[in-house]
Amino acid sequence: MMVILTLGILTFMIACIVMILASILAKKTIMDREKNSPYECGFDPKSSSRLPFSLRFFLIAVIFLIFDVEITLLLPIASTLGISNIFSWMSTSFIFLIILLLGLYFEWYHGALEWSE
**73-101: per-residue pLDDT in tens?**
888 888 888 888 889 888 988 998 898 88
21-34: b (≥16 Cβ within 10 Å) or e: eeeeeeeeeeeeee
43-73 pLDDT, tens per residue?
A: 666 666 566 777 778 888 888 888 888 888 8
107-116 pLDDT, tens per residue?
A: 889 887 777 6
Phi-psi region of 45 (alpha: psi -120 to 50; beta: other; left: phi over 0): beta
Q: Which of 71, 76, 62, 70 is nearest to 113 (CA)?
A: 62
Taking the C-alpha atoms of residue 49 and residue 38, their distance in angstroms, rounded to an integer, is 7
Listed in sequence order, the residues at least 6 apart from 46 whose beta carbon sits closer than 8 Å to its beta carbon are 40
Q: What is the pLDDT of residue 58?
A: 80
pTM: 0.47
Taking the C-alpha atoms of residue 77 and residue 54, their distance in angstroms, rounded to an integer, is 36
Enter the DSSP assignment of 48.
-
